[in-house]
Amino acid sequence: MLWSRFAITLVAGAAVALALMLAVIYLIDPYDTGRSPVFSQAGMRALAPAMGNASRGRNPAFNAMIVGNSRIQLISPERLKKATGLDFVQMSVPGSGPSEQFALIEWFLRHRKELAKALLVSVDELWCTSDPALPSERPFPFWLYAAGAGEYARGLLRWEVLEEVPPRLAYLLGLSAERSRPDGYWDYDAEYTQRGNRMAATRHQELEAKPYANAPHYDRDPHTGTQAFPAADRIGAVAASLPDDTALILVVPPLYINALPPGGTEQAFRLQACKAALTGAVQKRHARTAVVDWRVDRPEIRNPAWFFDTIHYRQAIAQAIEAEIAQALWKLP
Amino acid sequence: MLFNSFAFLVAFLPVALLAHWAVERFRPAWRLPALLGLSLIFYGYWDWRFVPLLVGSIVVNWLVANAFMRSGRSVLIPLAIAANLLVLTVFKYFNFFMDFAALVPGLPTRHLEIALPLGISFFTFHHIMYLTDLKTGKAPRYDLVSYGLYIAFFPQVLAGPLVRWSEIMHQFKERPYQRPDATERVARGLMLLVCGLAKKTLLGDPLSEYVNPIFEAAAAGKAVALGEAWQAMLGFTFQIYFDFSGYTDMALGVALLFGIVLPQNFDAPYRSVSLRDFWRRWHMTLSRFLRDYLYIAMGGNRKGLAVQLAALFATMTLGGLWHGAGLTFVAWGAAHGIALGAGVLWRRAGLPMPRPAGWVLTMLFVMLTWVLFRATSFEAALRIYEGLAGLGGADPSIKWRTILVAALVAVLGPTAWTFVHRLPPRRAIAIVFAILLVVVLFKIGDDANYEFIYFQF
Q: What is the rounded average pLDDT for all residues in chain B?
A: 93
pLDDT of B117 > 90? The answer is: no
Q: What is the rounded average pLDDT for all residues in chain A?
A: 92
Query: What is the ipTM for the molecules in this complex?
Result: 0.88
pTM over 0.90: no
Residues 417-446 of chain B whose Cβ lies under 8 A from any Cβ of chain A: 425-427, 429-431, 433-435, 437-438, 441-443, 445-446
A17 vs B434: CB contact, 8 Å cut-off? yes
pLDDT of residue B95: 79
pLDDT of residue B452: 59
In single-letter form, the type of residue at position A187 comes to D
Render pLDDT for B332-365 as a digit per residue (tens, 0 to 9). 999 999 999 999 999 999 999 999 999 999 999 9
Render pLDDT for B192-246 as a digit per residue (tens, 0 to 9). 999 999 999 999 999 999 999 999 999 999 999 999 999 999 999 999 999 999 9
pLDDT of B109 > 80? The answer is: no
State the DSSP code for A31. Answer: T
pLDDT of residue A199: 58
Residues 273-312 of chain A whose Cβ lies under 8 A from any Cβ of chain B: none
User: What's the mean pLDDT in B394-412?
Assistant: 94
Chain A nearest-CA distance from B105, in A, is 34
pLDDT of B274 > 70? The answer is: yes
Please tell me if residue B256 touches chain A, with a CB cutoff of 8 Å. Answer: no
Catalytic residues of B: 323
The CATH superfamily of A44-142+180-331 is SGNH hydrolase (3.40.50.1110)
Render pLDDT for B276-335 as a digit per residue (tens, 0 to 9). 999 999 999 999 999 999 999 898 888 899 999 999 999 999 999 989 888 999 999 999
Residue among A1, A2, A10 whose CB faces B434 most closely: A10
pLDDT of residue A224: 80
CB contacts of A160 in chain B (<8 Å) are: 446
Residue A139 vs residues A95, A97, A102: alpha-carbon distances, Å: 9, 11, 15
pLDDT of B456 > 80? The answer is: no
Residue among B186, B427, B445 whose CB faces A1 most closely: B427
A9 vs B191: CB contact, 8 Å cut-off? no
- A104 or B105, greater pLDDT: A104
pLDDT of B371 > 70? The answer is: yes
**Integer Cα distance of B378 and B380 in angstroms:** 5
